[in-house]
Structure 1
Amino acid sequence: MESYCGDIEDYKKYLKSEKNNCRYDDPDMKRERGAVYYENLVKFLKHQEMEMKNRLHGEAWEFEFVYKNSQVYNNGSPDSIQVTYKVNSVEKKLFLRSDQFGFTALQGIKGVHKSWTNKYPYAKYLKYNNEDKTSCDFVADCIWSTRTIGGSFIWPIQKQCNKWCTYYNTARGIRNYLEDRVDLTLLEVKHYLDDPEFYKKNNPYNDILYSSIKGDTSPMEDFLAHFGSFKNYVQYFHFDNFVEKINENTLMPLNVVWSDLEKNIKVLLENEPEHKTNRIKNLDKKTLKKMLKNVRILTSERTQWIENNIFNYKNN
């Protein structure tokens, strides 16, 4: 698998205190000219748009990577993946950015940077294990396995106060029950797409996503409306292995905390009614490691499918 965050061996030395600092390249932030990660995301989106064109709502979307200081960027568009489409012959645009779901990577000055506090899963895990070398290797492998083409969501951004922001990206963090969990995020998307009108009117689940949906119109609502159903959303972004089929039209996300994918034990989120209060920050050492393994397994499977079926890596 191709990772986009730097030199893993150098990073392992940093985790093991063999060096005080290490450059960590966040793929989400690589939006300059020639950024392979974002160019590959565009390839993925173009492929999926073509594959699913007969099942999507509205006219086909066209994608372009707008990098910093490009002509389009200098004309006012943000550095992002620009989506162009038409509604009733009127051209519209959305701007998308990546949002890694493999939890916050340890970075900066060791023990000083905020990512080293116990609020973050990787820091918590290393402190459980007194930062022994085996644990450092495990954390580095988890991070590199999730900083891949299959390791992210893609969300629309919007401009407020002269700044382009990805509100849901920020809102998914450790300040609330989502804690960057991919499964709970998928569940919120499912809640909305199962019944958009009812969701928007009532916010029946008290979801974090609701704040990005409410109002007369929003980029998030326009974005999700394109897929029409949670099933289409899952297939479009190839989250197939992150969910289980309950019946022909119903999919439910796997619970990444209580499943044990190494043993092929799958637990659905619907079987954990307390998921909004059962927080990562309270997990014991064994359960925390199992969760990190689950996310690594699911992300690696998704990445390998994308690389093999869209980028033809298996033939190179």
Structure 2
Amino acid sequence: MVETTRIVLAARPVGAPTPANFRLETGELPDPGPGEVLLRTRYLSLDPYMRGRMSAAESYAPPVEVDGVMVGATVAEVLESRDPSLAKGDVVVAYSGWQTHHVAPASAVRKLDPDAAPPSTALGVLGMPGFTAYSGLLKIGQPKPGETVVVAAASGPVGATVGQIARIKGARAVGIAGGPDKCAYVRDELGFDAVIDHRAPDFADQLKNAVPDGIDVYFENVGGAVAAAVFPLLNTYGRVPVCGLIADYNATEAPSGPDRLPAHFRRVLTKSLTVRGFIQTEFVAEMYRDFLRDMSGWIGEGLVRYREDIVDGLENAPAAFIGLLEGRNFGKLVVRVA
């Protein structure tokens, strides 16, 4: 038996999660059986979708049960293998969740070449966030040379990648981020054509001035007031890949004010907009191999840059996750577990 330290869902949050919604505990794992591997987690990915898994509300995936281990993608080292495809010392991408050790089927993990790229990037630009940006933008957004692409949460792992791919495809990239440091990063390091601070009192006016030809593609990560400022600026036949709505994840009631839904759908109708929600897994079979090839090449050529926000220690994952939902992270948030 191997001991694992894990963080479980202690109680479902009402509104924003608090430390009381998590519990750190230890437990024992069985020895791996035939076709299984024993893994030690090196890195844990923290992502906004995890807030939805803490809720019992209907969603695209089942919720984490109370007292269950919090879900999450990991980079892990194989400590013991009972499958010929993997050996002790191999580094893999797994879905171990918030824990130090895990027993998994060998068929459920993907072997990494640790010399090809830093292993943590398999949780970011070369992992789910990068593929989310790649598939959502290219499959749904379909940017064309000369068009304008606007992306919310532009300093985050998805938004940053969306804007850089848009520029590779010949489009104009306009980012929306929060605070001067994040805006400077998006403009100066990532090379966006323009960036707007959504905290500015005249945000809507600044955004309008930054897109004199309107918006052809809006990659939606945020919702809320940002989306309200963007939608009036969409051009006819605009495309809106809906990836996330983080502004509303902690909401406990409907927003106040008039019902804006009729006006929203009138705009969808009169401008012939395509608004398409997606979960990146639906495109894996079709696009993942191309993604790995293209993204690896773009990184190697310096066309795509990325930033990681690394937190040390599994015990610090709850506080880091709460900060993620408040926009306190800067780049892809990763917990270095071992």
What's the TM-score, normalizing by structure 1?
0.25
Say which structure is richer in helix: 1
Say which structure is richer in strand: 2
